[in-house]
Structure formats: structure tokens, C-alpha cells
């Protein structure tokens, strides 16, 4: 590849990874997937060898783990605080619809409101209903921290790939 192409590819890949990393600040922005797609683009244009294939496999497993953790951890924390499956299901549906109609933050607010209302009707106790929302919010916080750490690890593996195998 000509040097200008390598430079342009590097700029695009790093920009994609930074967009993905910064995008993690927005709830439910698929930042880890954006990072993975940036690395995939680099790999497809630059080529694979045994070691880059192993690193890309590890990066892919991290992306999958992040996606699973994202969907599970929030619910697990909420369930530990006693939140019903109905409230969680409706909360996730409200999150999806709210994120499509408003911003992802609006979707998150609608999700918390849905969980609160379902639990308020079920428990007839606003303090316990608020506790369910708190459990869900704590799960969201831990999810964000873990997703950020996984994203940094994915970028770190790509940096190793780029510096040692290019």
C-alpha cells in the first residue's frame, strides 16, 4: 500500500475508535461495536496473519462479552433489588421506544419511569418502587464502567497489533 493510504487508513481507524470510545458516554450508543467495526475495517484493508487473526479474535470476543454484559448487568442489579420481570421487560421496551423517539438519555429516563410505575402499582409502596429504579440505575452505572474498560482493552489490543505486527 502507498504511504498516503496507510496514513489515511490509520487516521480513519483511530477516528472511528475515538468516536466509539467517546460515544460510550451516551447510554445505548454502540460504542464498542463502532470500535470493533473500525478495527475490522483496518484488518480487511491491511490483511490478516496468524497473530493479527488471534488478536482480532480476542477483540471480537471482548465485543461480544461487552454486548452480553450490557444487556444482562442492568437487569441483574435490578433483580437483586427485587424488581419484577414485568417491570424490567416494560422498562427495556420503554428504553428502546424512548431512545427512538427522543435521545438515548430520554429513553433512559422513560425506562426508569416505566420501572417505577410498574413497581409502584405492584408494590403499592413508592419507596420500594424507587429502590427498584435505584437498582437499575446502579446496574447502568456498572455497565458503563465495564463497557469503557472493555473498549480500552480492545483499543489496547489493536495498538499492540498495529505497533508489533505492521
pLDDT values of the chain reduced to their tens digit, one per residue, 166 residues: 788 888 898 999 999 999 999 999 887 788 999 999 999 999 999 888 899 999 999 999 999 999 888 777 777 878 887 889 899 889 888 988 887 888 777 888 999 999 999 999 999 999 999 998 988 888 888 888 999 999 999 999 999 999 987 7
State the pTM of this model: 0.82
3-state secondary structure of 103: coil
Q: How many residues does the chain have?
A: 166
Rounded to whole angstroms, the Cα distance separating 34 from 56 reads 14
User: What are the domain boundaries of the chain?
Assistant: 3-165
| Main-chain dihedrals φ then ψ at residue 27, nearest 5 degrees | -55, 135
Amino acid at each position: 500500500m502507498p504511504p498516503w493510504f496507510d496514513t489515511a487508513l490509520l487516521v480513519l481507524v483511530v477516528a472511528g475508535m475515538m468516536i466509539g470510545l467517546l460515544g460510550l458516554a451516551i447510554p445505548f450508543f454502540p460504542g464498542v461495536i463502532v470500535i470493533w467495526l473500525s478495527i475490522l475495517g483496518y484488518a480487511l484493508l491491511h490483511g490478516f496473519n496468524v497473530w493479527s487473526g488471534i488478536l482480532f479474535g480476542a477483540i471480537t470476543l471482548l465485543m461480544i462479552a461487552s454486548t452480553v454484559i450490557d444487556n444482562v448487568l442492568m437487569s441483574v442489579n435490578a433483580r437483586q433489588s427485587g424488581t419484577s420481570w414485568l417491570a424490567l421487560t416494560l422498562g427495556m421496551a420503554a428504553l428502546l421506544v424512548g431512545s427512538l423517539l427522543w435521545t438515548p438519555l430520554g429513553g433512559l429516563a422513560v425506562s426508569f419511569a416505566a420501572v417505577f410505575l410498574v413497581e409502584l402499582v405492584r408494590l403499592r409502596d413508592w419507596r420500594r418502587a424507587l429502590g427498584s429504579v435505584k437498582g437499575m440505575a446502579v446496574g447502568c452505572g456498572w455497565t458503563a464502567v465495564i463497557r469503557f474498560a472493555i473498549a480500552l482493552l480492545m483499543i489496547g489490543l489493536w495498538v499492540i497489533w498495529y505497533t508489533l505486527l505492521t
